[in-house]
Amino acid sequence: MASQPRAGARYHGDQAARPGMLDFAVNVRADRPPAWLLDRLSARLADLACYPSRGDEARARSAVAARHGRRLDEVALLAGAAEGFALLARLRPRLAALIAPSFTEPEATLSAAGVPIEHVVLEPPFRLAGAAVPDEADLVVVGNPTNPTGVLHTREEILALRRPGRVVVVDEAFADAVPGEPESLAGEPLPDVIVLRSLTKTWALAGLRVGYALGPAGLLDRLTATRAHWPLGTLQLEAVAACCEPDAVAEAQDGARRLVRQRAELVDALTSIGLHVVDGAAPFVLFRVPDAELMRKHLDRKGIAVRRCDTFVGLEGHYLRAAVRAEWPVLVNAIAEVMP
């Protein structure tokens, strides 16, 4: 168990990339939002003199509810999915089990709030089946697909984590990068499951912070009861509404299909130079190199940023993570230069 956040729990990929570098460390899909989304946001700039309206909040909440077939009271709008992790301590869990390797923000926020945590470390190939979750854990957090492994767990594997008196939180920040979202629980109302979703990766909105939670009304009320008034600004609410409209969802799925093809090309190329790539279905790949620190330094000198992985529990050693980008041949060629 842990009572204080690890230093590595507050490390994120944006810390690896300096201005001008070719950035494979951050998983935002594009360098800027699409033109239509910028137009929608720009049209609201004149409204910034006013407080966010109830109408804006209602439109955003309605768009999310319609997108996933949920009731309005099963939707909580968030300043990025990361805010959802920061709110989990308000459920007052006695023991939080964190499926690892995984996104480190739940560890950081829960530890800082004094919540006892236990990492349930999965061995390669990082599948969920057989995970030894403590029976006494009344909060379980799992990613799907998981960051940084990219592993996509089945719905059945995640539902098997449920127990009386336990809340299961599923981090689906990258679910919309999987065509059809086949393993998502976002559209399934369950009394003990909270799903966290992000809009920042797909729509290049990392600087705006937009996301939402889906779950039973009672749990969402407990999460959000003491939030400040106007927790999301006007532009955030506009972005949520815009990105959950049917045309936007269809555009995201078109992008997900392109990502699948690019990911397969990147995996084949990395494999061809002798690297092992973890089998996954995310807009990034996790792969092993002989010496991760030396490889990162080599790539840094070449102006290429990748995500170090020794900050993740369960990945101390030889792993690196790279976002799927059209420029992947530059990354692979640079790695090949120093492969034995």
Alpha-carbon span 247 to 184, nearest angstrom:
20
**What is the separation, in whole angstroms, between the first and last Cα of the chain?**
40
Burial of 163 (0-12, 13-18, 19+ CB in 10 A): middle
Question: What pLDDT does residue 47 have?
Answer: 97
What is the model's pTM? Answer: 0.96
Reduced to 3 states (helix: H, G, I; strand: E, B; else coil), residue 94 is coil
Exposed e or buried b per residue across 193-214, where buried means at least 16 C-beta atoms within 10 angstroms of its C-beta: bbbbbbbbbbbbbbebbbbbbb
Q: How many domains does the chain have?
A: 2
pLDDT at residue number 188: 97
Instruction: Say if residue 101 is preceded by a cis peptide, omega within 30 of 0.
Output: yes
pLDDT > 70 fraction of the chain, expressed in percent and rounded? 99
Q: Tell me the pLDDT tens digit for each residue of 5-34.
A: 687 778 787 787 889 999 999 999 889 999
Distances (CA, A) of 94 to 19, 34, 99, 135: 43, 43, 16, 12
Strand partners, 98: 119, 141
205 and 170 assigned to the same domain? yes
Which pLDDT tens digit goes with each residue over 260-296? 999 999 999 999 999 999 999 999 999 999 999 999 9
The answer on 330 and 211 residing in a single domain is no
82 and 13 in a common domain: no
Mean pLDDT for the stretch of residues 140-147: 98
pLDDT band at 321 (very low <50, low <70, confident <90, very high): very high
CB 74 within 8 A of CB 220: yes
Mean pLDDT for 319-340 is 97
Mean pLDDT across 131-146? 97
Judged against a pLDDT cut of 50, whether residue 189 lies above it is answered with yes
Provide mean pLDDT across the span 218-223.
98
* Residue 306 and residue 315 in contact, taking contact as beta carbons nearer than 8 Å: no
39 in a domain, yes or no?
Answer: no
Q: Is residue 280 part of a domain?
A: yes
Average pLDDT over residues 200-225: 97
Of the three residues 245, 265, 282, the one that is the final residue of a domain is: 245
For residues 160-177, give the mean pLDDT.
Answer: 98
- Per-residue pLDDT of 79-99, as tens digits, reads 999 999 999 999 999 999 999
Q: Which domain holds residue 257?
A: 7-31+248-336
CATH number at residue 170: 3.40.640.10
CATH code: domain of residue 328: 3.90.1150.10
In three-state form (DSSP H/G/I as H, E/B as E, the rest C), the secondary structure along 286-323 is EEECCCHHHHHHHHHHCCEECEECCCCCCCCCCEEEEE
pLDDT of 219 over the 80 cut? yes
Q: Tell me how crowded residue 333 is: count the other CB atoms within 10 A of its CB.
A: 13
Count CA atoms within 13 Å of residue 219 on its CB side: 25
If asked whether residues 71 and 211 sit together in one domain, one would say yes
pLDDT digits (tens, 9 = 90+) for 56-65: 999 999 999 9
Q: Is the CB of residue 334 less than 8 Å from the CB of residue 32?
A: no
Q: How many Å apart are CA 89 and CA 139, to the nearest integer?
A: 10
Asked if residue 184 and residue 137 are part of one domain, the reply reads yes
pLDDT in tens, 102-118: 999 999 999 999 999 99
